[in-house]
Amino acid sequence: MARPGFIVAVDGPSGVGKSSASRGLARRLGFRHVDTGAMYRAVALLAAEGGIAATDVAKLTVLARGLSFDFEEREDGSARILVSGRDVSDAIRAPEIGQLASAVSLHPGVRRHLVEAQRALGRGCDLVMEGRDIGTVVFPGAPVKFFLSADPGARAARRLKELRDRGLVTDQAKVEAEQLERDRRDSSRKHAPLRPAGDAIVLDTTLLTLDEVIQAMEQAVASRRPA
Ligand code: DC
């Protein structure tokens, strides 16, 4: 029987640096990294391509149920997500897909299938899993949980840089407004809202470098990991 994996849960709002920190931490620990936001984004992308409205609960649920997810790391260190065999890593990063992902993730039918897929990815595998509800819903028994936070201005600046690095043109005010709208929706939804688990380590990353964040996380993991 597969031994239970060691799960590190990383939750927090958009633009807080979850992905870079989770990826870096996973690399240092030799764990797998799973970005669950990418899974909601993939459902949003396929819904948009298939002409399914973000409010069409029945069709979205059927869509989510039929998908399989694979995470791969290329030799150059880049992370790829394959949805039912198709590499959607770049297409899901468009800002409008982020907004749509936040809308489709409201539906419990969609969440149920993705949570199931996320738990399956953790079976017998040590991993760092990032999202909004990893410590509260997906793996409430995870031995280490982090909740990252940062000032809205700092978060918008980070996301803006990320978008510009990808060649997407936008401005900070627009990014900040979209982020606040997404946070409001993600935090106020009825099912699995964004909030820290009672036993999460809350890390404010506003004034920390990425290296400092990863170091703090690594120390916390080391203190809770059996020798
Ligand atoms: O992490 P991200 O910005 O790529 O996530 C996109 C959207 O997906 C986010 O606004 C809310 C949703 N999401 C979720 O509901 N639960 C998760 N575990 C991860 C993401």
CA dist list (Å): 4 to 122, 126, 162: 8, 8, 35
> What's the chain look like in SS3?
CCCCCCEEEEECCCCCCHHHHHHHHHHHHCCEEEEHHHHHHHHHHHHHHCCCCCCCHHHHHHHHHCCCEEEEECCCCCEEEEECCEECCCHHHCHHHHHHHHHHCCCHHHHHHHHHHHHHHCCCCCEEEEECCHHHHHCCCCCEEEEEECCHHHHHHHHHHHHHHCCCCCCHHHHHHHHHHHHHHHHHCCCCCCCCCCCCEEEECCCCCHHHHHHHHHHHHHHHCCC
Which amino acid residue places its CA nearest to atom 2 of ligand 1? 37
Measured from the CB, is residue 105 less than 6 Å from ligand 1? yes
Q: Kindly state if the Cβ of 132 falls inside 6 Å of ligand 1.
A: yes
Ligand 1 centroid–CA 227 distance in Å is: 33
Specify the pLDDT at position 3.
60
The per-residue pLDDT for 1 is 46
pTM of the model: 0.93
**What per-residue confidence (pLDDT) applies to 2?**
54
pLDDT the model gives residue 43: 98
Determine which residue's CA is closest to atom 12 belonging to ligand 1. 102
Residue 14 CB–ligand 1 contact under 6 Å: yes
Nearest CA to ligand 1 atom 18: 131
| Full pLDDT tens readout for the chain, 227 residues | 456 689 999 999 988 999 999 999 999 999 999 999 999 999 999 999 999 999 999 999 999 999 999 998 888 878 899 999 999 999 999 889 999 999 999 999 999 999 999 999 988 899 999 999 999 999 999 999 999 999 988 898 888 888 888 887 778 888 889 888 888 998 998 888 999 999 999 999 999 999 999 999 999 999 988 77
